[in-house]
Structure 1
Amino acid sequence: MHTSSTADRILGAARALFEDGGEAAVSMRRIAARAGIAPMTIYRHFPNRAALLQRLGEDGTRELTDRLSTPPDTPDPIERLLELQEVYLDYALKHPQLFEPGLLRSGSDPNRFPDDVKARRSGLFNVMADTIADGMEQGRLADDDPWEVAMTLWAHAIGLITLYRAERFTYDEAGFRGFYRTSLRRMLCGLEAEPCTLDSPMEHAG
């Protein structure tokens, strides 16, 4: 029990430092000071700083996967996909420091496309691919490879968020959120089995 409590304190201190200042803010001495332990105590739980940072990324990925795994409350697969992407955006903007190491670095999520993903080893893709497959079965989306469509949508979303974080938009956050939703809907329109319109209640969401 004591071991688990100490490890949790270490992770909590490391995450607080990371979210405040990124990797540069995370040092064993700072973690120890924040957690109220001796620096050498950290090495009983984590072999080095790199392992600790990797764990933070893994925890972030797991948190996001859990949030994506809660089915959106709508029967329409198109709206469910948009809501899933909204959850993704919310997490990325709320935890900007965790966004890159948690989702992009191979060290924190070693699953690669297509082999690992199609073997259902990536929780981030499973829920999206299943929603897409459901849309194809309902006739809402054109028949295609749901895993490849999921990767296309994910890459589009992560690209937009990365550009926003790099300050390549003049939008404030509300403006970017509106653009993000409309941009994703444009992509989904191209995937639908029947002609669609960009007009949607989600476009006017707060």
Structure 2
Amino acid sequence: MNTTAQSILQIARHIFETEGAGAVSMRRVAEQAGISAMAIYRHFENREALLQEIADAGFAELAGFWTPKRTRQSPLKQIEAMLGGYMDYALAHPRIFDYMFAEPRPSARKFPEDFRKGRSPTGNLLAQAVTAGIDAGVLARDNVWDVSMALWAHAHGLICLYRGGRFSYDEAAFRKFYRRSLQRLIHGLRAN
């Protein structure tokens, strides 16, 4: 990606993070980048392509955060750390998180077909940790993708409920609750 495209993406992401996806317009981003409204289309085909680039960068950030946690810990601790990172990302980048995981997008990956074909950069990492847990005998034998989706859905649901004001906890109390809740779920998935 060239310098102008990077600048456009950085400006668009700043607008996205501070005001939401609805505030990102090609004209506004071009204006802030100091280029003409038509010049932006040399770098991004349309608004959807620009927003998709922001989402793709978010998935890469999340996957990049998870990768070191996978190599230094037991499989169950890896899963806890990865889903803890999911919460950290969601609370640090709520508008991008919503766009990545909670809003309809034409290019959004669908379960189960896209996940089983390895098309989810974050889902692949979680499935690898679940596989490692099953292979190590600490998680019960089960369908890796179904277990991964159950873990993700539990984490995602708690985050959405918190962000929707359904908890009276402050952020520190929610973080503790979230981690304990995930530990309970993981404990229930353990091999006997």
Same fold (TM over 0.5): yes
Any conservation in 2 of the 1:117–1:125 contact (CA below 8 Å)? yes
1:18, CA displacement in angstroms? Answer: 0.6
Question: Equivalent of 1:155, from 138, 144, 153?
Answer: 153
Question: Equivalent of 1:164, from 162, 165, 190?
Answer: 162
1:166, CA displacement in angstroms? Answer: 0.9
The TM-score normalised by the length of structure 2 is 0.92
Deviations 1:47-92 (A, max 9, x none): 2222212221122122212222223464421111100101111111
Which blocks of at least 5 consecutive residues in structure 1 are unaligned?
195-206
> Helix, strand or coil: the match of 1:113?
coil
The TM-score normalised by the length of structure 1 is 0.86
Question: Equivalent of 2:116, from 115, 118, 125?
Answer: 118
How many matched pairs? 192
1:174, CA displacement in angstroms? Answer: 0.5
- What one-letter code is carried by the residue in structure 1 that aligns with 2:158? L
Percent identity over the alignment is 45
> Helix, strand or coil: the match of 2:140?
coil
Q: After the TM superposition, which segments of 4 or more aligned residues of structure 1 sit over 6 Å from their partners?
A: none
Which blocks of at least 5 consecutive residues in structure 2 are unaligned?
none
> Helix, strand or coil: the match of 1:192?
coil
1:188, CA displacement in angstroms? Answer: 0.7
1:97, CA displacement in angstroms? Answer: 0.8
Aligned to 2:27: 29
Aligned to 2:184: 186
Tell me the C-alpha RMSD between the 2 structures. 1.8
- Tell me how far apart the structure 2 counterparts of residues 27 and 174 of structure 1 sit (CA, whole Å): 35
Which structure's relative contact order is higher, taking Cα pairs within 8 Å and 6+ residues apart?
A: 2
- Tell me how far apart the structure 1 counterparts of residues 8 and 169 of structure 2 sit (CA, whole Å): 37
Aligned to 1:10: 8
1:128, CA displacement in angstroms? Answer: 1.1
Mean Cα displacement is larger for which, 42-51 or 138-147? 42-51
Whether 1:133 and 2:137 are equivalent positions in the alignment is no
Question: Equivalent of 2:60, from 43, 59, 62?
Answer: 62
- Tell me how far apart the structure 2 counterparts of residues 56 and 62 of structure 1 sit (CA, whole Å): 10
Mean Cα displacement is larger for which, 148-157 or 96-105? 96-105
